[in-house]
Structure 1
Amino acid sequence: MTLTAAILGLDGPALLPDEAAFFRDANPWGFVLFARNIEDPVQLSRLTSDLRAAVGRDAPIFIDQEGGRVQRLRAPHWHEYLPAIDQLGAGAAGFALRGRMMAAEMRAVGLDGNFAPCADLAWPQTHPFLRSRCMGVTADEVAQNAAAMAEGLLQGGVLPVIKHLPGHGRATQDSHKELPLIDVSRVELEATDFAPFRALNHLPLAMTAHIVLPFLGDQPCTMNPRALQMMRQDWGFGGAIMSDDIGMGALSGSIRERAERSVAAGCDLVLHCNDDLAGFMAAAEGAGVLRGAELARCDAALAARRQPEAVDFEALRAELEALIAAQPGS
């Protein structure tokens, strides 16, 4: 069975026949869901089951469930989490609880991958689209909080995806709309923005940033072989690396070209989130077949999925709320 080196989205809350046929033929490594795909727990459980049935295997299904403004599972059916930056006073223990609670809610509806934690360092100039999602203002704080949240997710049977490598925090532009340039020396970045990702190089999955670092050249890091080489060889990241969404405004070229350039640079997987069926087909064609070392890394990521431990969700919620209430200034 061949796999396409892609994680793909779909149109709405139910899998359409033409989508099912495409997924059966293309066999993408995984799927991603957004608010447009989610109505309630019963509907979502049906959709995740239908997606796996379409490809005939236990494919990973991801969402962005960071908390705050980036949260696909929302009230009234699911818990509402604070923005990460507003939970810093609860420390690593609070982020471990946050991850474990999210995992419990996700696994209950067939989701087993989370595009979180966000290990970008918060700076005063960090663009508002990102700053509230950051897990600290120092490299050590980010690394500790992100590691705790990742472990909470793993304990609950959900794969964490650390992002956005090599570090989006200093960007003053929104990469959904334009391509940020971060003109800072490598020496300074290694001591700050890069440090959390080096500390988290044991995690199974990571996501790139659509940013330009001039010391690496003029290409977005997602499409820059020098950036991917730095992550792998210099930082020792051994997990599977996926692109950020190739449909974002920071990138140029056709969807197929974006997928091809991401894979050529060293991304193991191409993420394409929002499009019509023709666009998803183009992404799959550009991503190509998952094989070799890339396939081995993706297999290892799936092997990192754990059987979730039973938990008392309400007890976890009470414990987290107590930590948040005890934050300085609360």
Structure 2
Amino acid sequence: MTSAPDARAVILGCSGTTLTPEETAFFRDLRPWGFILFKRNIGTPDEVRALTHSLRETVGRPDAPVLIDQEGGRVQRMGPPHWPKYPSGRSVGALPLDLARLGARLMAHDLAEVGINVDCAPMIDVPVAGSNDIVGDRAFGTSPEAVIATGRAVAEGLLAGGVLPVIKHMPGHGRATCDSHLDLPVVGADRASLAGSDFRPFRALADLPLAMSAHVVFTAIDPERPATLSPTVIREIIRGAIGFDGLLMTDDLSMHALQGPFRTRAEAAFAAGIDVVLHCNGRMDEMRPVAEATPRLAGDPARRARAALARLAAPERFDVAEARARFEAALAVA
């Protein structure tokens, strides 16, 4: 693991399958802690491998985090024809735990082969009746117990494949009645209800290295600000009741749940206690003001970043072809 004393506390996207000269210069100057890829960045395996190499070259760190949302189901950035289609969280939750772990291990193999070392999964939100479909079949189940068990299995599979998991969306997105990509969800449940259900998977998996915050207002805790921007939620719930001491990143700052100038959004997140901000769409006119508000990684955020990267290990050896055949056979009869 390399150190990153000059890294900025931000994860950024890029616009295409190769870096533009402007992006290369911007990243070299800024030196973000990490990067995130979306479908617009995914070409052939060789093209993805070249892109992840180019991103790391700009910051001079061979282990710089390169993230992707690869849950399976409707959230899968790498898919056919170059990679298999993986089942939804709901389908994975119906499998025996050893097969849930195996599916994640196979997914990690796909990612590690092209230089991606962080997966924004497992999603361990617990949906409730009447909530928005933004969670829906992405959830492993409708009970905290089911979500905890499968979430742990998926995290273990990713780690075994040399990929860091990111638990999301802390402290819980399952009660949201709107899509935070489009609007700001407001959850009115009392603290006892939240603690008894929504927060439980995050408490159970609080030993994992990385988590993503929820752009959700919890009126019983902070009626004014979403968790991402709330010192109260981060201090009392995420760091306190949940007990998470890993690296906490925002969900995407460009989502419409958040309002105001991008510099202001980033400043508010850092003031609330976020370690690293995330901006995904690759638009330079938005990334530049985010960058202006972003400090260097230092203090507890730097400690948490180092601890997260220390969890990266060489993939466990396994027979990929045999494992894939076994996983696909299990899905065929599920």
Provide the TM-score with structure 1 as the length reference.
0.97
Corresponding residue number in structure 2 for 1:222: 228
Query: Which whole-Å CA distance do the structure 1 matches of 2:183 and 2:316 have between them?
Result: 42
Matched, 1:51 2:58: no
CA-atom RMSD, angstroms?
A: 1.1
Against the structure 1 CA distance between its residues 155 and 3, is the aligned structure 2 distance closer, same or farther, given a 3 Å change threshold? Answer: same
Query: Partners in 2 of 1:194 and 1:322 — Cα distance?
Result: 34
How far apart, CA to CA, are the structure 1 residues paired with 2:149 and 2:48? 32
Gaps of at least 5 residues in structure 2 are none
Aligned to 2:37: 33
Alignment of 1:89-108 (within 5 A): 89-108=94-113
Give the Cα–Cα distance (whole angstroms) in 2 for the partners of residues 146 and 288 of structure 1.
Answer: 32
* Matching residue of 2:137: 132
In the other structure, the counterpart of 1:260 is: 267
Name 1:13's counterpart in structure 2. Answer: 17
Counterparts of 2:285 and 2:319, CA distance in 1: 44
Q: Which runs of 5+ in 1 are unaligned?
A: none
Q: Distance in 1 between matches of 2:47 and 2:202?
A: 36
1:8-56 residue CA offsets vs partner (Å, 9 max, x unmatched): 0011110111111111111100000100111110111110111111111
Q: Displacement of 1:326 after TM fit?
A: 4.0
Give aligned-pair identity as a percent.
Answer: 45
Deviation track 1:228-265 (CA, whole Å, cap 9, x = no partner) reads 11111222111000000010000011111111111110
- The one-letter amino acid paired with 2:95 is A
Structure 1 position 288, deviation (Å): 1.8
In structure 2, how many angstroms separate the alpha carbons of the residues matched to 1:275 and 1:104?
26
Q: Give the residue type in structure 2 aligned to 1:324.
A: L
- Please give the residue correspondences for 1:175-214 in structure 2 after superposition, counting only pairs within 5 Å: 175-214=180-219
What is the TM-score normalised by the length of structure 2?
Answer: 0.96
Three-state SS of the structure 2 residue aligned to 1:271 is strand
Extract structure 1 runs of 4+ deviating beyond 4 A.
none
Offset at residue 324 of structure 1 (A):
2.7
1:148-185 per-residue CA deviation (whole Å, 9 max, x = no partner) reads 10010001000000000010001110000000011001
Match of 2:7 in 1: 3
Name the CA distance, whole Å, in 1 between partners of 2:246 and 2:93.
27
Q: Is the 8 A contact 1:89 1:324 kept in 2?
A: no
1:139 Cα shift? Answer: 0.4
